[in-house]
Amino acid sequence: MSASLDTLVKEALATGRIAGLPEGHFIDGRFRPSQSGARMESFDPGRGTAFASFAAGAAADIDAAVEAGRRALTGRWRDMKPAERGRILQRAAALIGENADRLAVVESLDSGKKLAEAQGDVRGAARAFEYYAGACDKLQGDSMPLGRDHFGMTVHEPVGVTAHIIPWNYPISTAARGLAPALAAGCAVVAKPAEQTPLSALLLADLLREAGLPDGVCNVVTGTGREAGAPLVAHAGIDQITFTGSVATGIGVMQAAAPNVTQLVLELGGKSPVIVFADCQVEAALDGVMEAIYENAGQICSAGSRLVIEESLKEHFLAHLAERVNGLSLGHGLTNPGMGPVNSAAQLAKIEGMVAAAGARGARLHAGGARAEGAELGQGWFYQPTIIEPSASSDAIVQEEVFGPVLTVQSFASEEEALALANGTSYGLVAGIYTADFGRAHRLARDIDAGQIYINEYFAGGVEMPFGGNRLSGYGREKGLDGVKNYTRVKSIAARISR
């Protein structure tokens, strides 16, 4: 750990606070309070106590941010050469790197996640800006063969002002994967981070200003979904919405967007299988399953929350898995434990309720299954890493997203059965496959209804790979060059050129 990181961590752990955090919304190039003056508190999940306060925005603040975005669209930003846009994004990537220690400590304290994971998220955010910086001057159109008398071409123009509704599980990552391609495309943005984790988006906006982004191009309004999110997605001045969150809220956002016919990308929940065949490399599969469900305490839309295992390997695999799970230490995120807390008291209660209800329906626990308590955990929001074998695949614990460190177990005897189990929920976000059989891996990759398939390494890939869901997991793709397409629209220009 670098000296500066060590100092920041020690200070945050000793005082429960971080000095000099932004306090206002970031609108039109500077921090400003809510028009109502209202404020809210953000909590440190590792202690269950408030550690920072922030502006509680409402419709009037959203109006100001959208107006700033609309003004910015027609100013210096529109006239800037794409290559110069790219240089600004490149500088932003460098600044994220220079400020990585502070960003990671803030992200860890605000979300509860382990410091090492927060550091990974910050590196990923810098990488997103680096990746999309290179796209700015390559968003070229086509020319169409219309014959000698006509000329046809397409141009890719920015969609306008884009809204980004950000969840609490990956605050800086989700902000970066939406903002970087939107800015690369030449859009102006208004982001609304989750009320549980408002801080890193504000810090990011300020770094973008420092990188040279003109005022008004990037705006961040903090506050609740109901008070700040709802007026943003219903705003007539918004041209596109990227929403990451729960299915129920996503459906509400679609409805709110409908009267303005605003286009959307929805990245919603998941109940993703990790399919493990007996011929796999067992150690790699154990590593993969551990990461798939206990990283970020399972609060990942693409978590591998269902182990789907070949019967002949089941007993051996579960014994080793339970041993690893029981060895996971719990603690405050800043102390880099095996697993950190969950993000909120509400989330903890939800996890507790779902597991208890499954138990009452006859599910069998292989590990965990309760809230974690102990002097060293204080009032923090901790849940034990859990493995649970349901009474049936139709059980709610298999069908519904828990969004916590809870792995369900299902087993199969044939490839066909594995496929049926993999596709046996209403979600279609991710599937992991562990097998040494190349043909089988690719047959399943072909037939599984999911936006992404990970073969022999869960979470393989990076910003280069498009990401998104099918069915209840949403639609549209972020990341990769497909991710920029959300923020551009095609204009066709056809001309008669014959005399």
Binding site for ligand ADP (CB under 6 A): 165-167, 192, 194-195, 224-226, 229-230, 233, 245-246, 249, 252-253
d(CA 399, CA 393): 8
Radius of gyration of the chain, Cα coordinates, nearest whole angstrom: 23
d(CA 258, CA 180): 26
Q: How far is the CB of 40 from ligand ADP (least distance, A)?
A: 11
Question: By C-beta, is 245 or 369 nearer to Mg ion?
Answer: 245
110 binds, among Mg ion, ligand ADP, none (CB under 5 to 8 A by kind): Mg ion
Q: Is residue 241 within 8 Å of residue 474, measured between CB atoms?
A: no
253 binds, among ligand ADP, Mg ion, none (CB under 5 to 8 A by kind): ligand ADP
Question: By C-beta, is 69 or 252 nearer to ligand ADP?
Answer: 252
267 is catalytic: yes
Q: Which amino acid is at 114?
A: K
Q: How many CB atoms lie within 10 A of CB 455?
A: 16
Q: How many CB atoms lie within 10 A of CB 352?
A: 16
410 binds, among Mg ion, ligand ADP, none (CB under 5 to 8 A by kind): none
Question: By C-beta, is 58 or 275 nearer to ligand ADP?
Answer: 58
Q: How many CB atoms lie within 10 A of CB 212?
A: 14
Q: Which is the catalytic residue, given 107, 267, 310, 401?
A: 267
Q: Which is the catalytic residue, given 301, 310, 389, 401?
A: 301
Who contacts 90 (Cβ-Cβ below 8 Å, separation ≥6)? 129, 130, 133
Nearest to 348 by CA among 397, 392, 299: 299
Question: By C-beta, is 344 or 473 nearer to Mg ion?
Answer: 344
Question: By C-beta, is 272 or 343 nearer to ligand ADP?
Answer: 343
Residue 34 in 3-state DSSP? coil
Q: How far is the CB of 234 from ligand ADP (least distance, A)?
A: 8
Q: Is residue 224 within 8 Å of residue 40, measured between CB atoms?
A: yes
Q: If you write DSSP's letter for every residue of 322-372 in order, what string do you get?
A: HHHHHT--B--GGG--SB---S-HHHHHHHHHHHHHHHHTT-EEEE--SB-
Question: By C-beta, is 126 or 199 nearer to Mg ion?
Answer: 199
310 binds, among Mg ion, ligand ADP, none (CB under 5 to 8 A by kind): none
Q: How far is the CB of 91 from ligand ADP (least distance, A)?
A: 27
Q: How many CB atoms lie within 10 A of CB 70?
A: 17
Which residues bind to Mg ion, rule: CB under 5 A?
42-43, 110, 196
| Pair of tokens at residue 468 | 């998104």
| Pair of tokens at residue 358 | 């499954």
43 binds, among Mg ion, ligand ADP, none (CB under 5 to 8 A by kind): Mg ion
Q: How many CB atoms lie within 10 A of CB 439?
A: 8
Question: By C-beta, is 24 or 229 nearer to ligand ADP?
Answer: 229
Q: How far is the CB of 14 from ligand ADP (least distance, A)?
A: 30
Instruction: Please give the torsion angle defined by the CA atoms of residues 392, 169, 222 and 220, in that order, rounded to the nearest 10 degrees.
Output: -120
Helices within 134-277 (DSSP H only): 171-184, 199-211, 230-233, 247-257
Question: By C-beta, is 265 or 409 nearer to ligand ADP?
Answer: 265
Q: If you write DSSP's letter for every residue of 400-412 in order, what string do you get?
A: S---SSEEEEEEE
Q: What per-residue string of b and e applies to 154-172 under the rule 16 or more CB within 10 Å gives b? A: eebbbbbbbbbbbbbbbbb
Dihedral sign computed on CA atoms, order 273, 380, 366, 338: positive
d(CA 36, CA 56): 8
Question: By C-beta, is 196 or 386 nearer to Mg ion?
Answer: 196
Catalytic residue set? 267, 301
